[in-house]
């Protein structure tokens, strides 16, 4: 960490020539009097820790994410949804020819409920997100 203020051993990527010229120019300017006793090394450590912490792969409910999509949504590192979806579709295909002696099936039971209660529930649910 001692080398952080030394330009020759600067740990960050090399600057472009243009930026380097600006940097040299700025470094020749007289130093401003230091008003606060700021520990630059500690500050650099803090920033480095923050940056490295923020790029850690998030993990929730056993799902490991490999980063974020352009719209900011986490991207599942092992997403098999499309393959599973294809498999699910293949499961509902009727392969062999089938015939039956019925058209519709099942017994029927009618129940009656309080219409107001049902409608209030529908009102409430239609305002909710899925």
Partner 1 sequence: MSDDILNVEEGVQTPEEGVQTPVAEAPAPAQNEKKYKPGVGVDVGTSNIVVARQTEDGTFVNRFHRDMLYPLDVSEEAVDLLDRSDYLYVKVGKKYYIVGEDALRLVNAIGRGEVVRPMQDGILNPNLKESSELLFYIIKAVVGDPIVPNEPLRFSVPANPVDRDLDNKFHEMVLKSFFTQMGYDAKPVNEAMCVAYDCAPMAKTDEGDMPLTGIAISCGGGMTNVALCLKGMNLNAFSITKSGDYIDEQASKVTGVQASKVIKQKEKNLDLGSFDMSDRVLAALRIYYQETINRIIHHMTTEFKSTNAEVDGEIEIVIAGGTSMPKGYCDMFKECLEDSEFPFDVWQVRHSKSPFYSVSQGSCIRAQADFRKKNK
Instruction: Catalog residues that contact partner 1 under the rule CB under 8 A.
Output: 84-85, 87-89, 91-126, 128, 130
12 vs 102 by CB, closer to partner 1: 102
With respect to partner 1, which residue has the nearer C-beta, 50 or 113?
113
Least distance in angstroms from the C-beta of 77 to partner 1: 17
Provide the terminal-to-terminal Cα distance of the chain, rounded to the nearest Å. Answer: 51
The residue among 37 and 126 lying less far from partner 1, judged by its C-beta, is: 126
Task: Specify which residues 76 forms β-bridges with.
Answer: 65
Shortest reach from residue 60's CB to partner 1, in Å: 15
What DSSP line would sit under 3-62, residue for residue? GGG-GGG--SPPPPHHHHHHHHHHHHSPPPPP-S---HHHHHHHHHHHHHHHTSPPEETT
CB-wise, 26 or 109, nearer to partner 1?
A: 109
Find the shortest distance in angstroms from Cβ 113 to partner 1.
5
Nearest-approach distance from CB 75 to partner 1, in angstroms: 18
- What's the CA gap between 73 and 79, in Å, rounded? 14
């Amino acid at each position: 960490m001692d080398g952080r203020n030394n330009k020759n051993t600067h740990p960050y990527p090399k600057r472009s020539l243009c930026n380097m010229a600006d940097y040299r120019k700025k470094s020749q300017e007289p130093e401003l009097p230091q008003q606060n006793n700021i520990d630059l090394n500690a500050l650099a450590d803090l920033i480095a820790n923050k940056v490295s912490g923020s790029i850690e792969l998030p993990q929730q409910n056993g799902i490991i994410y490999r980063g974020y999509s352009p719209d900011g949504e986490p991207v599942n590192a092992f997403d098999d949804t499309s393959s599973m979806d294809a498999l699910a579709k293949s499961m509902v295909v009727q392969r062999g020819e089938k015939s039956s002696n019925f058209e519709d099936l099942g017994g029927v039971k009618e129940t009656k409920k309080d219409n107001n209660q049902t409608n209030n529930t529908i009102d409430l649910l239609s305002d909710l997100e899925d």
